[in-house]
A and B are shown apart, each in its own frame.
Chain A
């Protein structure tokens, strides 16, 4: 059995062709070579960042040129857009890895000493070696302040999110607008607000409690908004089924809506916590810096990890800077831990489960 002579040739629908790969590899090699030559002869530059900054446009130009040899303008533009999107994604990922890894790598010097986690800075002078002093006071401060912030934010924020979803009307819309506009409230303004209201107004002293309040003012709109989005994803049919069975509204919310959205709500709170843990300026304004360990958040200054990082790193002594990197590494590890926990809990979004 032979095919007829004019049989249709099957169209090639592969997304990736050998020729394209060769084009890209060729363009990359050419770009590296040209950049190497340019940076050596014409522009006396050095450093990886400048090299990439020159090599990437050259790479784009070569890709366009090589594609243009065998294809029309449409294909060239399509390829360029694809290469550009991939390149930008690579730049963003590399930047993320650099920024996250930088304090972890730099902080090794301080992190290997056990005393870094068990002492405060009260008896470590500026010239003392890394075997003396640590950031226990900052760890304690961060944990206490974020706990205070969570105690305020979680009930109030979740109740407000439920309010936004369970009631209708002009007032609800107004609250939602205000909350959305406040999600980018500058953290230093949150600090100023707590200073003006609690410290000047009510006479509370600068303390860990005031810092916790400032962090919660900053976290509140973020948490409300994230929780609002999650609760909105709960399928309306579940809520209607519960109401049709005669359950009152509060039982519907408590036994149907909140359990369905539980994982999403946990994620919302954890991500808000990760943001709150890393805030420096509200603590700077409302709690002040201290080198001493202070277990009482209601009395006296109390430092947090970001503020300790900031103060130590801007010092001129190398050992102090090393401690600052160490504090940043601990902070980064804390944020990463919260983040991984949030992702592990979140699982799948509610409402998607049954499709």
Chain B
């Protein structure tokens, strides 16, 4: 065997030219890049570490009760995120109920129905919606929307009040003079505004996935006599499925973390409020913003622990989302 090897590679053969010698400028260049990558990684990885370190104090004292207590009285030691966590999930659910159909319809409109001339402008508009500050969304919801759309929650609770979470206590539907403020500052309106906020994010992921549906399959569907909607159902939606799921999850992650718009709209309560149409509710991030200014050092530690819970929740959602979206992107490259 060794004879064969030596036969194939005699001593006199010219050594393969190395285009780039090891070391030198390129080595330094790649080291700099590696340091930058590592720095970004370190910043991102230490987020959880620092929150755990600062929140350990409060977590140690509250123990498992941190996840089951509804109150937030750090001075008397009775505090937990049960109520705010449920509130966060409810707001995110309402937001998705609003954002998902809007984003799906808008994404389909842009990628399938819109005239080619205005398609680019529409894509820019979606990006612009994503860049509008959340305080502006919150302002719109707080000052305009919730006082001009009170009929909607009133109507829903009147006709669908028999569904437990749509009931609103303390109003008489037959009393024409009844105050309508019981319908404002609710989980419902906070969810609507957050839904409008996350809609552009979901929409742009969906549109990207839809526009990648191959032309050949599209034309094949038309050639078989499909209507436009038939083509969308048979080609565009199946090809874009992971984009739809992943985009929705990305939007969910954002909805869970939204702070200031929720803070502006909702009137905080520290009990599990399942009646989404009734005034009152809360979310983890809004709780942190509300209690921040007046918190004692121990209170700060408790808020850090709440922030850690929120961080872990959004991290899980985002990991799943980016895994799903990445699967839809596989095989895509610039060469070709």
Contacts and interface: CB of A to CB of B under 8 A. Distances in A.
User: Do A and B share a complex?
Assistant: yes
A88 B101 contact: yes
A338 B131 CA distance: 10
Interface stretch (B59-67, B163-171, B306-314): B306-314
B36 interface: yes
Contacts of A159: 32-33, 36-37
B259 A186 contact: yes
B29 interface: yes
Interface in A297-313: 306, 309-310, 313
B235 interface: no
Interface of B is mostly: helix
18 contacts: A47-B148, A50-B152, A80-B229, A81-B228, A88-B105, A96-B125, A96-B128, A102-B140, A160-B36, A172-B37, A181-B318, A186-B259, A193-B47, A220-B44, A236-B334, A249-B29, A278-B135, A280-B135
A102 B112 contact: no
Nearest to A81: B229
Interface in B46-99: 46-47, 50-51, 53-54
Interface residues of A, number: 108
B277 to A, nearest CB: 15
A306 B135 contact: yes
A175 B143 CA distance: 42
Contacts of B227: 74-75, 77-78
Contacts of B151: 45-47, 49-50
A234 B334 contact: yes
B207 to A, nearest CB: 12
Contacts of A338: 131
B144 A236 contact: no
Interface in A305-355: 306, 309-310, 313-314, 321, 324-325, 328, 331-332, 335-336, 338-339, 343, 351
Which of A167, A177, A181, A220 has most B Cβ within 10 Å?
A181
Contacts of B34: 163, 167, 171
Contact of A186 (B54, B229, B250, B285): B285
Interface in A83-104: 84-89, 91-93, 95-96, 98-100, 102-103
B160 interface: no
A179 interface: yes
Contacts of B19: 246
Kindly list the 3 A-B residue pairs having the minimum CB-CB distance in the complex, ordered from nearest.
Answer: A278-B133, A186-B257, A88-B105
On chain B, which size bracket covers the interface? 35 or more
Contacts of B203: 92
A89 B110 contact: yes
A2 interface: no
A221 B322 CA distance: 13
B269 interface: no
Interface of A: 43, 45-50, 53, 74-75, 77-78, 80-82, 84-89, 91-93, 95-96, 98-100, 102-103, 106, 155-157, 159-160, 162-164, 166-167, 171-172, 174-175, 177-190, 192-193, 196-197, 200-201, 217, 220-221, 224, 232-237, 246, 248-250, 253, 271, 274-275, 277-281, 284-285, 306, 309-310, 313-314, 321, 324-325, 328, 331-332, 335-336, 338-339, 343, 351
A192 B53 CA distance: 12
B136 A332 contact: yes
Given A184-B254, A188-B288, A235 B50 contact: no
Contacts of A196: 50-51, 53-54, 304
Contacts of A48: 148
A318 to B, nearest CB: 12
A164 B112 CA distance: 33
B152 A310 contact: no
Nearest to B232: A81
A89 B105 contact: yes
A156 B39 contact: yes
